[in-house]
């Protein structure tokens, strides 16, 4: 479990990156609505794994290539915005949990389930 300081650092990185990623000019990155869902930083602050959820992504491979290309600029800007001893190297992962949740919601809504009120009116 991360310490309080590391948890605050993760939150700060998440906040800063959520502001910086929409400023990336690479068209491969601008594929819909991007949310930074989670950040996990190693204890020595050398690496930060960033989970992104993208609503309306067209091509996941191109999106990851665009992020990898922009990682140096994002790291530089993040280092300027935050006062850390080391600016962590960014590793990006795609978080499919929001898409999965939307799919499950669609499945539940498509089920034909009678409610208690319907059963009472038929009697």
pLDDT, one tens digit for every residue, the chain (123 residues): 567 889 999 999 999 999 999 999 988 888 888 899 999 999 888 999 999 988 877 888 899 999 999 999 999 999 999 988 889 999 999 988 877 888 898 899 888 777 666 556 655
Task: Assign a CATH topology to domain 4-96.
Answer: GMP Synthetase; Chain A, domain 3 (3.30.300)
Distance CA 31, CA 63 (A): 7
Backbone torsions φ then ψ of 91, nearest 5 degrees: -120, 120
Q: And the tokens for 112?
A: 């034909």
For the chain, what's the residue count?
123
pLDDT on residue 58: 82
| pLDDT, position 85 | 83
pTM: 0.76
Contacts of 90 (CB under 8 A, 6+ apart): 17, 48, 50, 71, 74, 75, 78
């Amino acid at each position: 479990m991360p310490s309080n300081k590391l948890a605050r650092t993760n939150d700060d990185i998440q906040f800063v990156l959520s502001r910086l990623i929409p400023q990336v000019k690479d068209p491969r990155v601008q594929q819909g609505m991007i949310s930074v869902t989670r950040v996990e930083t190693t204890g020595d602050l050398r690496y930060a794994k960033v989970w992104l959820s993208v609503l309306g992504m067209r091509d996941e491979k191109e999106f990851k290539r665009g992020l990898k290309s922009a990682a140096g600029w994002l790291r530089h800007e993040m280092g300027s915005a935050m006062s850390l001893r080391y600016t962590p190297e960014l590793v990006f992962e795609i978080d499919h949990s929001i898409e999965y949740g939307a799919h499950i919601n669609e499945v539940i809504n498509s089920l034909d389930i009678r409610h208690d009120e319907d059963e009472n009116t038929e009697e």
